Chains A and B, each alone.
Chain A
């Protein structure tokens, strides 16, 4: 689809080739190869233990890969090309590379000792060295966009799960990332709160954000994803449009999984 001769082919934001990862004796990623292009929304489905969250965490180097190669915006994650070899990056350089990648966690992971506002402006001020006034103004815009303009002085413990996750999304967006990673963002929510988070994600996708979402929300994947991959036991079992993978799965394992969660 994207041949190097095609002049308008969008450049890949994420490019994974044969990515391998093991925890002790168990290999959790057994050679993952995929590309995500700019503006694309990719949903990763699969049973728990399939390695989908681990793969997501490899993309921003929360986990170190053991084999293959993983590039974000044309640069190796955790390594730099140096005289024909790969040099392991320093901690500070890894931190700098993570700025372009926003991540949203299943358990929100808001900082409980900081207010909503301080959660959002922490990294813009202390990593990007933005003036506080500017960071606050941006934070207010983001909070208004997720419908929480009036809660900037609340502490996370005073918010519902859905509100906390919307703050967490704003906190990631405050760094103006080019890529957003969502690690089962609605799995820890009460059912009636799932919708408010998904609608924020849907709008983000419409605005053209490049997104990789590990999710169990089949309906969301069908509606929003440009591409869906199904993972099981550390391998990509099936790739295709939402229509292909969700409504007409070819692989037996995909069919079984979808039959169970539908």
Chain B
């Protein structure tokens, strides 16, 4: 007791020399030098053709290609997310036929290249010239020519969407399994049916686990859409390829595409941040503003600064 005031006093009066991190300074200077050299070469290498980049960045064919890319991403991800939830719930069903069907779907669509699936859907008319809706082995209610129904865009969306559903189902299943069994029990004890328990109690909690890898999948999908150029669907990459096939400005036009991909990806980063924040309700230390978004770039991983509830 008698010692502590003296110790406190010594802290306030003595000069404190903070630890110097010389290694950090050296590595930072080296990296900044490398960055400066990189920027210098990009600016002074005429091969980049920045004036060409500028003139094509917002031409109508590039913008319409960007539009197709974004539409494909949205449609394919919608199919993927809805299909993924359905497949995940099927996988967890006590009925072995239902669970097995979902397993087989995932096995097929994860087990073949997405490029093959795009071509397959594009050439589906060779297998089934007419498509019809009806009762199996019974009457049909709807007929259509496969070539008119499966356009390039439909083929591309189906291929990317169904492939994505297989991956999303694993992400959703992991999310559902991460929710404590006590949550199911508490909901059942209150008289909620299994479907309501899933929709109102389990899935909202599973979302916290599902969102980050789904953000990953969306960003990955944005770029995977470039594969549909094999069926001559002119999305962003296809559009710039068509232009440089005419004017031979290959590098500048690839940069145009890269700029647009990066722009859309950056917007998705911000969107993901806000969705994640929404579904982490009830968790301690919920990030509150855009300031926290920029903090997420900090060197320390976010997981270590968060405290988990309970």
Contact = CB atoms under 8 A, between A and B. Distances in A.
Interface of A: 60, 62, 91-92, 95-96, 98-99, 101-103, 105, 107, 109-115, 122-123, 126-127, 155-158, 171-172, 175
Interface stretch (B162-170, B189-197, B236-244): B189-197
B188 A157 contact: no
Contact of B192 (A62, A95, A114, A157): A95
Interface in B274-310: 279, 281-284, 309-310
A110 B182 CA distance: 9
A112 B189 contact: no
Given A156-B309, A157-B310, A111 B185 contact: no
B194 A91 contact: yes
A122 B200 CA distance: 9
A98 B191 contact: yes
**Top-8 shortest CB links A-B:** A157-B309, A109-B186, A123-B190, A155-B282, A109-B182, A103-B189, A99-B191, A127-B191
Contacts of A92: 193
Contact of A111 (B201, B279, B309, B310): B201
B132 interface: no
A171 B190 contact: yes
B189 A101 contact: yes
B205 interface: yes
A110 B282 CA distance: 11
Interface of B: 180, 182-183, 185-194, 196, 200-201, 204-205, 279, 281-284, 309-310
A24 B182 CA distance: 21
Nearest to A102: B189
A157 B205 CA distance: 14
A105 B193 contact: no
B309 A105 contact: no
B307 to A, nearest CB: 9
A176 B87 CA distance: 37
A122 B190 contact: yes
B171 to A, nearest CB: 19
A42 B310 CA distance: 31
Contacts of B309: 112, 156-157
Nearest to B190: A123
Contacts of B189: 60, 62, 98, 101-103, 172
Contact of B190 (A115, A127, A156, A157): A127
Contacts of A101: 189
23 contacts: A62-B185, A62-B188, A98-B188, A98-B190, A99-B190, A99-B191, A103-B186, A105-B185, A109-B180, A109-B183, A111-B186, A112-B205, A112-B283, A113-B204, A113-B205, A122-B192, A123-B192, A126-B192, A126-B196, A156-B282, A157-B309, A157-B310, A175-B190
A127 B191 CA distance: 7
Given A99-B190, A115-B282, A122-B201, 18 more contacts: A62-B188, A62-B189, A91-B194, A95-B192, A98-B190, A103-B186, A105-B185, A107-B182, A109-B180, A111-B186, A112-B282, A112-B283, A113-B204, A113-B279, A113-B281, A158-B284, A172-B189, A175-B190
Contacts of A157: 282-284, 309-310
